[in-house]
Amino acid sequence: MMRDIDEIASDFELLDDWEDRYRYLIELGRELPAMDEADMNDRTKVPGCVSQVWLVSRTDDASPPRVSFMGQSDAHIVKGLVAVALSLYSGRTAPEILSLDAEALFGRIGLQEHLTPQRSNGLRSMVRRIQADARTAMEAA
């Protein structure tokens, strides 16, 4: 079971040192459910990430559709960023996903100023992919 995004944000606020926050990100990444190797392919790979990142979305038949995500990465810190993004977005309705301000949340927990430009770009690429999947789910509904 993934942690709630509010719990993650609260935990970040309790950690003063960025070394501790990086360790926490790595811990979050370790908690991600395993992803089937067959789902880790070129179709699910997120472009724009220096590390390899794969995202799979599943949409239910509700109206509006609810979208759940699974993700994985081959890099420890990036895997933690995947966990943060999925905690924010997974299980929400497509309109909720499209209305969320990920930049504000990531800014609140200080990710922007403590990530390398490559990791920041990768995080933005993940968010764009999640939003694209939500748009696709709405169009299919």
What is the 3-class SS of the chain, one letter each residue?
Answer: CCCCHHHHHHHHHHCCCHHHHHHHHHHHHHCCCCCCHHHCCCCCECCCCCCCEEEEEEECCCCCCEEEEEEEECCHHHHHHHHHHHHHHCCEEHHHHHHCCHHHHHHHCCHHHHCCHHHHHHHHHHHHHHHHHHHHHHHHC
| Catalytic residue of the set 25, 49, 111, 126 | 49
The range of the structural domain enclosing residue 109 comes to: 5-140
State yes or no: is 51 an active-site residue: no
Question: What pLDDT, on a 0 to 100 scale, did the predictor assign at position 141?
Answer: 75
CATH number, residue 34: 3.90.1010.10
Residue 135 has pLDDT above 80, yes or no: yes
Q: What pTM was estimated for this model as a whole?
A: 0.93
Give the confidence band of 133 by pLDDT, cuts at 50, 70, 90: very high
- What is the count of structural domains for the chain? 1
Predicted confidence (pLDDT) per residue in 49-100, tens digit: 789 999 999 999 888 999 999 999 999 999 999 999 999 999 999 999 999 9
Question: What pLDDT, on a 0 to 100 scale, did the predictor assign at position 48?
Answer: 86
Predicted confidence (pLDDT) per residue in 32-41, tens digit: 999 999 999 9
Question: What pLDDT, on a 0 to 100 scale, did the predictor assign at position 107?
Answer: 84
